[in-house]
């Protein structure tokens, strides 16, 4: 494919803006740009064709099954997009006077109310723009809480070794030290290790439940109590909420703060459809919430809370990725009371079904029902035939299926983590199971063919080492 | 009740049989009974028709202004039709981070193109694949400059308050000291900066144009900063720098900014886009995703996520940042915008903003009692002193016009872009003239 | 000036050199000088921004009613979001008639699916790939029935006047006699029909429901028509027949109709969609495009434009019709609509229309002075007698409600669909109650 | 690909409509449908994926060069689509009172004014939905005109043998007899034959100029005068207006009535983006225009003309494909005075350039500059190597180029008619020329390989004869 710069031609372009209707002002020479500016010069027809080409080499949810574990690649309903595109939302300036933006404020107010109900939290901020951004925000709340109590020795965040990499990274950004604790054989928190880890320096625990091997930690109440008893707070990483929403609430499991990934659980696209990582908290943390929290007066008018002197400040400008919240609210209104639970239940059902269809061939390191995702280990196959998780993944590309997440969680060797989501039909799951089985057979019969995969994609395996050694992040003109 | 679950009751039955359990609830056997939820206190699910009317009713509760003279971090620019047409393609909307490069060349190439355009715009060497917004980009930039010896972050007082607040929050998170360099006549106080720059300072952040619309002498400030051995970070308006001396020319080590003017709607504050570029020397410190050019095993040019060793999913607590989620669609929006405008269109936009702002300022200041507060050159924003800003803004609101942002009782920060026709400006000025009579 | 010509002045020069002429005007050497144009008297070209404001200003000159109780050939139905999402894909919008089947299987298959759905809906055997609208479909259907002996077309007076006018125009074009069968109590006068059916009659066209909303006894009329040896053509509302006895069950030879209710907006009257189905016996007389299933040279199932020997580009003056231009996008709109609704959703829509119309009629007729004009069963439309229809409609318009269509000073044709909530209906009835006080 | 019916599953579906909020009314049994109704039952995600599959097997203008002669497959600007989607246009009922639809009426009024200026006509109707529909309408105007003068013997329409097939078909539908006249060697009207053909039975002449071999008929003034002198009227088939708009006007060339294809010349998509075939006429025909003609009062308010007793009636319901007119008006406003001419000039330039790049290899039966399209004849190649126009066309499919129109006009053997349009860049034309040349060489070297083409398309050459013999126009459940 040509780069857009390679389609550019001096003098071409689109006619977007009118001539100036006021006296033209020139930039004085000393503040004028002299550096060349190589932006594409290109007619609209060629922009359209260029991005059509790029589109054809982009696999989206509309192209087929996308069981990327831990990412909840569910279907993104079209109504969400239409609503978010309404000029009554998209054309509102964030600094309009509140009385002229009551609709926007009500969206944030309703979304907070409903998401607090789903998570069992008391308040919520929508400022964080993504999951990791939410983690950072939530940890700052914990930090501010301890500080407000003069409990400044609490500088450690306990993180299981099965956690998403964002957890330890966020903890460090929030100024904490990370205490990694190993998981038990069942992939869950090793209670004994947790008890040893907690103490007067414990600021809190970050936990994903169901965890990243797809197991709901049955000791959850014991875990959160252990941390609370030690004076720490419990942080719920909502990445896997899609398994349990409507079934059990983080707030009821003993968590004090939670972030959600609206772009996972609440059907707003990931794509680049940018994310949103709202953070919910119990009352004890509410004074520390970031700026821009929506309030509702008794007369039903909405506004913003007065700035709290104890607030952690801002984690970005304005009030978060508002249009993403619009989509999530649309989704919640659609599903409602029963639909939210139905979604979670079917996410779990689909994962268990696909696991059941594969467990005679693929090694499932964790027994028992999984939640919304499950982890396979290709270690046995690697030992026997030299075929890796990467090989299996690349072979799936030739079958039009987006591979599961590879090599995560780190505690499982040669891991492939599959999350079908509830929006897939049994036909799709059966088709995928069939493909996984065929590839397994192919691995036994002809391992080399898997090392060679993919063969049908526009490009084959890439030289990633070379890319990192001599990074070329821009086009050379 | 709305639902996006395709499976029918019979199919669910078949699936349960295959799994070997009798109800879905059996799959939740590890959830402690005492916390299992009975009922969510949510409204009942709704059909698409009902949801649409609910949400349309909410949208209608907002007031859409017919002309907008407010900026302050969110700018009303023209969005060419091709932008939405391209970025609404389902593949682009629904694809995730391109972990599987072989089936993601489209989105990878689009990010590579974005990185190139942003580097061109800022005149720096390398860019990442975008950050959440301009404010968090500024905060991440400050974090890039920290080393063991130099921790302190200096920020000009003349920056957007939301950006300052965000940098402050990030710094407090990381226990990094931050000091604010005072403002003098609407620009950074150079003398104060000079005094504050010591061997503990890691970087200085300023905005260009700054919050008051003033175009500061960035080259001058940058030299000061470099003399003190610190890094120089510029937060810039992406359209302005197509016309003004760009960060590369001003000697910036890092340039960041709010990408919203590049094709993103106002959208009550988000989603926007943070862009971030730096010199070659700092590329391995850039947070977030970077796409690089490489080849596949047959030697074909291809693109891939690269320098992942910096990232949290590999480095965990040693990562350079926790930035993770994908902003590719916003980056693509900016790319399509820049492709549609081209170099000439970007400069034309900048020139229209500058000329119209100048015209509006002149007209406003022809009203007795109103004057410009600062004397330096400005781009699309400027501050006026005026009697009772509230009176003025209310009078404008009544006519469907969103006036400038009131900074205090007696000053207003105005913004004028290519969207404001002369007619709109003249009408606005007339209303203001009446209001201050 | 706006332009979609990519070539630059230099490129044009190069091209002229290759061609071997010196100016573009040289290429127009055969145009007689005396008629060569100097200047078009058109406004100057505009930038996209200006064009958008012009056109938005025009759109704003229209009044968008918040509730609509008017039908009469154009119906306000819910359009699921997936419809526009699918049909706005650039490939579907910009592809032309699929002459090259090998690169057009997508659009060909979508038309085949449309033909199948329409056949299902009407209960007939075969469908074409759509006609311009319901009125021209009716006219084309009448033309299909003509043979040397039987020329005369009978049309019920109780059909949509625009449809009647169109059939009349087509008949006058082809020098075909047309007679109108009178109406009696809102339905076709069966006795009159019986008398008019002679050996010169080729077909009889009626509507179902008819223009006054009445559901006529189509089976009964069809039998009469068939007894006389003529063809029976039904014009039907596509949603109604998911609930009502369908044309196939009523014995129709041809069923046509306005497809607009299947996902197309009101759009001031177009583009809409004419659908057209017939019995197996008449398939080779169907005008317009037909897609058929076949195989490729490797035996793979595939779709292709078929029965082209009927068409004008082969048969020229012997073609069965001149219908040519492609309506594939409207057909696809209808298909996506029907797929999103499914059989159950179509029936639910029909039932909502029927129930709400019944409720509205009941409420309106509870107002003294207002009564239903006709006594037969009805679907989504009905006629009331009322004092001064203009008073009523003006009162409604003031409140942003589009009332029914005034048929004369004292009768109104109302339409109620799933878009009218009980609250809307109640509000409308209250306003009418006040207006006639 | 699966058919959508093959993806259907009893019980699946989307949740579009609410429950009934008024008492439910049942359809009485005697009027109830009993026949089964097989519509797809399918979740939204699967609808999205189904049409994504179909999309991938559909070649649009965004996919590449589309030089389909006589169809003017120019680029369709995105702004047109955005404007047509404005609720202020799309949500207006056609029977709203005129004072509530002033915007729509003004659109029609302005479009009429500008298109009359471009064509040199006095009035215009937008009711016809497509080109052929416009022909029918225009011919009815001619018929009504003669009838109004009692000139009922004028029953014949003269049509050159190079005409589009719609011309004779429309003439017959309008009740005329068709008189075919053969073209001269230069593809133009044979003046002598025309003089012989006209007479007291001549209702009119239908002509495309530039004609379908891409030549501007230099005798045009003579031709129209000949018909006028014989008492007939001249009909201009606007299919090829894209070559001459802004350069010369049908009205000035002696035409009395003209139809336009807005979906060709005025950049509204063909796709199925449905067509629009407005008909313009000189004053003498205005009384006969169809219903729904927009009028403008002196005070600037718009309405409809009172029904004319001499009107031909209606050719469809309401006022035509309104949203298509919206797109065309958007385009005209964009291009304006100079842009309209620039478009035509560059359409002609592009065609001549591509012809020049190919004329050393491909046989060009007509010498001299072409207008917006040109015709190649593959007859020499067929004689020499057995390679047909069809073979060349199918080979182009393997190169991602939509082939030119095949086997039209009928007067050229083994015709391929190419129309590049003005919205293609020289890069695209050079690329296409290269491909055409390579295929020509391939035809010389390996004719069989062209009979085998296409090889890379989802399906190969189709059994069209079988399809026509046993028509299967619907799926069997």
Residue A373 domain flag: yes
> D98-149, pLDDT tens digit by residue?
999 999 999 999 999 999 999 999 999 999 999 999 999 999 999 999 999 9
Q: How far apart are the first and last CA of chain B?
A: 58
Query: Are B290 and A38 a contacting pair at CB < 8 A?
Result: no
Kindly list the distances between the CA atom of residue D314 and the CA atoms of C180, D140, D291, D323, in Å, as whole numbers in the listed order. Answer: 16, 11, 6, 19
Question: Cβ separation of B5 and D14 shorter than 8 Å?
Answer: no
Select from B2, B4, B46, B48 the residue whose CB has the most chain C CBs within 10 Å, as the one to mutate to test that interface: B48
Q: Which two tokens stand for residue D446?
A: 């390996």
Nearest to C330 by CA among D3, D273, D315: D273
Give which of A12, A78, A81 to mutate to test C binding, by max C Cβ within 10 Å. Answer: A78
Q: Examine the pLDDT at C325 and tell me if it is beyond 80.
A: no
Strands B178-181 vs B152-156: parallel, antiparallel or unpaired: parallel
What's the pLDDT score for residue D201?
97
Domain co-membership, A346 together with A327? no
The residue in chain C having the minimum alpha-carbon distance to the alpha carbon of residue B85 is C90
The chains in contact with chain C, meaning 3 or more Cβ pairs closer than 8 Å, are: A, B, D
CB contact under 8 A, C120 and D117: no
Q: Specify whether A330 is located in the same domain as A389.
A: no
| Total structural domains within chain D | 1
Pairwise CB contact (< 8 Å): A16 & C5: no
Asked whether the beta carbons of residue C81 and residue A11 sit closer than 8 angstroms, the reply is no
The kind and range of the H/E element at A447 are helix A447-452
Other beta carbons within 10 Å of A359: 14
Residue numbers of the domain that contains D130: 79-334
Kindly report, residue by residue over D436-466, the tens digit of the pLDDT. Answer: 999 999 999 999 999 999 999 999 999 999 9
Q: What are phi and psi of A404, to 5 degrees?
A: -65, 170
Q: Which of C27, C80, C306 sits opposite D348 (nearest CB)?
A: C27
Which residue, B248, B242, B177, B184, is CA-closest to B216? Answer: B184
How many angstroms from the chain centroid is the CA of residue A259?
10
Could you tell me if A308 and A188 lie in one domain?
yes
- Residue D294 in any domain: the answer is yes
Kind and range of the H or E run holding C225: helix C218-227
Instruction: Name every residue in D having a CB less than 8 A away from some CB of A.
Output: 7, 9, 12, 15, 43-46, 48-49, 52, 56, 61-64, 75, 77-78, 334, 423-425, 427
- In DSSP notation, D405-450 reads EES-STTSTTEEEE---TTS-HHHHHHHHHHHHHHHHHHHH-HHHH
**Facing B81 at nearest CB: one of C48, C81, C419:** C48
Distance of alpha carbon A474 from alpha carbon D178, whole angstroms: 65
Distance from CA of A15 to the nearest CA of C (A): 5
Q: What share of chain B is helix, strand, coil (3-state, %, to 5)?
A: 45, 20, 40
Report the pLDDT value the prediction gives residue A200, as an integer from 0 to 100: 96
The nearest alpha carbon in chain B to A173 belongs to B174
pLDDT of residue A324: 97
CATH architecture of B81-336: 3-Layer(aba) Sandwich (3.40)
Q: How far apart are CA B112 and CA B388, in angstroms?
A: 49
Give span(s): CATH 3.90.1150.10, chain B: 67-78+350-435
pLDDT in tens, D305-321: 998 899 999 999 999 99
Average pLDDT, chain D: 95
- Give one DSSP letter per residue of A307-325, joined into a string: PPTT----SSSTTS-HHHH
Q: Which of A30, A73, A169 to mutate to test the interface with B (most CBs of B within 10 A)?
A: A169
Contacts of B45 in chain A (CB under 8 A): 333-339
* Residue B128, min C-alpha distance to chain D (Å): 29
Specify the pLDDT at position A186: 86
**Do residues C188 and C221 lie in contact, with contact meaning Cβ atoms separated by under 8 Å?**
yes
If you measure CA to CA, which chain A residue comes closest to C91? A52
pLDDT value at residue A328: 98
With respect to residue D137, please indicate whether it lies within any of the assigned structural domains: yes
Answer whether residue D48 is part of any domain. no
Q: What is the CA radius of gyration of chain B?
A: 25
- Give the residues of chain A that fall short of pLDDT 70: 271-273
Contacting chains of A (3 CB pairs or more, <8 Å) are B, C, D
* Mean pLDDT in consecutive groups of 10 residues from the start of chain B, 437 residues: 91 97 96 94 97 97 97 98 96 91 95 97 95 96 94 98 97 96 97 97 98 97 97 98 97 98 97 96 92 95 87 75 82 97 97 98 96 96 94 97 96 98 98 94
pLDDT of residue B321: 81
pLDDT the model gives residue A272: 66
Please tell me whether residues A359 and A275 are part of one structural domain: no
The answer to whether residues D17 and C349 touch, using CB atoms and an 8 Å cutoff, is: yes
Q: Are residues A294 and A348 in the same domain?
A: no
At residue C76, the pLDDT reads: 98
| Distance from chain centroid for Cα A209 | 15
- What's the rounded Cα separation, in Å, for the pair B326 and A273? 8
**pLDDT at position C308:** 79
Domain limit, last residue, from A334, A365, A399: A334
The pLDDT assigned to A273 comes to 67
How far CA B75 is from CA of B69, B253, B351, D419, in Å, comes to 9, 26, 15, 43
Q: Do B81 and D44 touch (CB under 8 A)?
A: no
Nearest CA distance, B197 vs chain A (angstrom): 25
**Whole-number mean pLDDT of chain C?**
95
Q: Which ipTM did the prediction report?
A: 0.96
**What was the pLDDT predicted at D272?**
66
pLDDT at position B343, please?
Answer: 95
CATH architecture of C67-78+343-436: Alpha-Beta Complex (3.90)
Chain D residues whose C-beta sits inside 8 Å of any chain B C-beta: 9-12, 14-19, 42-46, 48, 52, 77-79, 81-82
Q: Is the pLDDT of residue D42 over 90?
A: yes
* C86-125 pLDDT, tens digit each: 999 999 999 988 989 999 999 999 999 999 999 999 999 9
Per-residue pLDDT band at C163 (split at 50, 70, 90)? very high
Pick the closest to residue D92 from D318, D259, D295 (CA basis): D318
Domain match, A413 and A282 both: no
Structure tokens given for B186: 């609407």
For chain A, which residues lie within 8 Å of any Cβ of chain C, measuring from their own Cβ? Answer: 9-12, 14-19, 42-46, 48, 52, 77-79, 81-82
pLDDT of residue A229: 97
pLDDT in tens, C191-211: 999 999 999 999 999 999 999
CA end-to-end distance (rounded Å), chain A: 17
CATH number of the domain that residue A381 is part of: 3.90.1150.10
Whole-Å CA distances, D29 to C123, C222, C244, C353 = 18, 19, 9, 18
According to CATH, the topology of domain B67-78+350-435 is: 3.90.1150
Q: Chain B partners of A345 at a C-beta cutoff of 8 Å?
A: 24
Q: Nearest-CA residue of chain B relative to C80?
A: B48
Query: Which three-class secondary structure state does DSSP give residue C434?
Result: helix
Span(s) in chain B for CATH 3.40.640.10: 81-336
Looking at the predicted structure, is the pLDDT value of residue C316 above 80?
A: no
Cα–Cα distances (Å) from D160 to A44, D68, D168, D206, D412, in that order, read: 38, 22, 9, 8, 14
Residue pair B313/B324 in contact (Cβ under 8 Å)? The answer is yes
**Chain B nearest C-alpha distance from C83 (Å):** 13
Nearest to A17 among B14, B243, B352 (CB): B352
In chain C, the residue whose alpha carbon lies closest to the alpha carbon of D168 is C317
- In contact, A313 and B172? CB cutoff 8 Å: yes
CB contacts of A13 in chain B (<8 Å) are 342, 344-345
Q: Which of B382, B407, B377, B374 is nearest to B393 (CA)?
A: B407
A183: distance to nearest CA of chain B, Å? 17
Burial class (CB in 10 A: 0-12, 13-18, 19+), B226: middle
Range list for CATH 3.90.1150.10 in chain C = 67-78+343-436
Residues A216, A329, single domain; the answer is yes
Tell me the CA end-to-end span of chain C in Å, nearest whole number.
Answer: 58
When pLDDT is averaged across residues C374-394 and rounded to a whole number, the result is 95
pLDDT for the residue numbered B308: 79
Residues A174, A288 share a domain: yes
pLDDT in tens, D258-287: 999 999 999 999 866 689 999 999 999 999
Chain B positions contacting chain D at CB under 8 Å are: 1-11, 45-50, 80-82, 84-85, 90
Strands A374-377 and A405-406: unpaired
């Amino acid at each position: 494919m040509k780069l857009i710069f390679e389609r550019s031609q001096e003098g071409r372009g689109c006619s977007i803006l009118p001539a100036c209707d006021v006296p033209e002002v020139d930039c004085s020479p000393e503040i004028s740009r002299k550096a060349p500016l190589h932006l594409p010069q290109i007619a609209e027809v060629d922009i359209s064709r260029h991005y059509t080409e790029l589109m054809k080499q982009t696999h989206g949810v509309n192209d087929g099954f996308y069981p990327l574990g831990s990412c909840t690649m569910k279907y993104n309903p079209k109504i969400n997009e239409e609503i978010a595109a309404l000029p009554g939302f998209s054309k509102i300036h964030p600094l309009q006077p509140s009385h002229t933006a009551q609709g926007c404020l009500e969206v944030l107010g309703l979304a907070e109310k409903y998401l607090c109900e789903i998570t069992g939290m008391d308040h919520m901020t929508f400022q964080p723009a993504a999951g990791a951004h939410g983690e950072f925000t939530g940890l700052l709340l914990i930090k501010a809480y301890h500080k407000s109590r003069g409990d400044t020795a609490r500088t450690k965040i306990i993180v299981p070794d099965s956690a998403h990499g964002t957890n330890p990274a966020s903890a460090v950004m929030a100024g904490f030290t990370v205490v990694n604790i190993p998981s038990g054989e069942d992939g869950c928190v090793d209670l004994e290790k947790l008890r040893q880890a907690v103490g007067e320096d414990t600021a809190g625990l970050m936990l994903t439940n169901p965890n990243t091997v797809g197991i709901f930690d049955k000791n959850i109440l014991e875990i959160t109590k252990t941390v609370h008893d030690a004076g720490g707070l419990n942080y719920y990483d909502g990445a896997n909420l899609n398994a349990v929403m409507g079934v059990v609430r983080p707030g009821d499991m003993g968590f004090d703060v939670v972030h959600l990934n609206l772009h996972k659980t609440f059907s707003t696209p990931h794509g680049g459809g940018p994310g949103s990582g709202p953070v919910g908290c119990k009352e004890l943390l509410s004074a520390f919430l970031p700026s821009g929290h929506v309030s509702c007066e008794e007369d039903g008018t909405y506004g913003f809370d007065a700035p709290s002197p104890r607030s952690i400040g801002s984690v970005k400008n304005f009030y978060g990725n508002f249009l993403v919240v619009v989509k999530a609210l649309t989704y919640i209104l659609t599903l409602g009371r029963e639909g939210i639970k139905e979604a979670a239940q079917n996410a779990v059902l689909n994962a268990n079904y696909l696991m059941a269809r594969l467990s005679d061939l693929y090694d499932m390191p964790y027994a028992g029902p999984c939640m919304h995702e499950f982890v396979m280990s290709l270690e046995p196959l690697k030992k026997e035939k030299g075929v890796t998780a990467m090989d299996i993944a690349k072979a799936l590309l030739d079958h039009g299926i987006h591979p599961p997440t590879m090599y995560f969680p780190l505690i499982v060797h040669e891991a492939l983590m599959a999350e079908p989501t509830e929006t897939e039909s049994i036909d799709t799951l059966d088709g995928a199971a069939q493909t996984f089985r065929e590839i397994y057979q192919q691995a036994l019969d002809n391992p080399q063919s898997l090392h060679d995969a993919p063969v049908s994609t526009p490009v084959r395996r890439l030289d990633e080492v070379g890319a990192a050694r001599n990074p070329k992040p821009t086009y050379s003109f | 009740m709305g639902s996006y679950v395709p499976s029918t009751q019979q199919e669910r039955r078949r699936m349960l049989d295959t799994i070997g359990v009798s109800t879905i609830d059996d799959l939740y056997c590890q959830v402690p009974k005492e916390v299992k939820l009975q009922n969510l206190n949510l409204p009942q699910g709704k059909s698409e028709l009902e949801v649409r009317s609910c949400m349309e009713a909410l949208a209608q509760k907002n007031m859409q202004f017919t002309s907008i003279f407010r900026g302050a971090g969110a700018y009303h620019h023209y969005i060419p039709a091709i932008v939405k047409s391209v970025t609404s393609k389902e593949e682009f909307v629904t694809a995730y981070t391109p972990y599987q490069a072989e089936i993601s060349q489209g989105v990878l190439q689009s990010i590579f193109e974005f990185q190139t355009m942003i580097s061109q715009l800022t005149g720096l060497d390398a860019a990442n694949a975008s950050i959440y917004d301009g404010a968090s980009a500024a905060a991440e930039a400050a974090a890039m400059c920290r080393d063991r010896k130099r921790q302190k972050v200096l920020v000009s007082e003349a920056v957007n308050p939301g950006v300052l607040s965000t940098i402050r929050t990030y710094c407090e998170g990381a226990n990094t000291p931050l000091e604010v360099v005072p403002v003098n006549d609407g620009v950074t106080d150079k003398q104060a900066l000079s005094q504050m720059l010591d061997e503990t300072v890691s970087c200085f952040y300023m905005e260009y144009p700054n919050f008051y619309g003033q175009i500061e002498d960035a080259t001058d400030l940058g030299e000061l900063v470099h003399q003190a051995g610190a890094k120089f970070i510029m937060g810039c308006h992406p359209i302005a720098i197509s016309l003004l001396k760009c960060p590369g020319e001003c000697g910036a080590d890092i340039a960041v900014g709010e990408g919203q003017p590049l094709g993103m709607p106002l959208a009550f504050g988000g989603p926007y886009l943070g862009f971030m570029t730096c010199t070659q020397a700092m590329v391995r410190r850039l947070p977030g995703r970077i796409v690089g050019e490489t080849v596949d095993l047959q030697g074909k040019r291809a693109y891939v996520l690269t320098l992942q060793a910096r990232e949290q999913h590999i480095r965990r607590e040693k990562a350079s940042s926790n930035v993770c989620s994908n902003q590719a669609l916003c980056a693509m929006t900016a790319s399509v915008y820049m492709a549609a405008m081209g170099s000439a269109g970007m400069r034309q936009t900048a020139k229209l903003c500058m000329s119209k702002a100048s015209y509006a300022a002149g007209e406003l200041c022809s009203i007795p009692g109103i004057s410009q507060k600062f004397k330096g050159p400005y781009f699309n924003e400027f501050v006026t002193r005026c009697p009772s800003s509230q009176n003025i803004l209310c009078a404008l609101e009544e006519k469907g016009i969103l006036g400038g942002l009131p900074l205090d009782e007696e000053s207003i920060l105005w913004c004028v872009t290519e969207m404001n026709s002369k007619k709109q400006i003249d009408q606005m000025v007339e209303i203001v003239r009446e209001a201050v009579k």
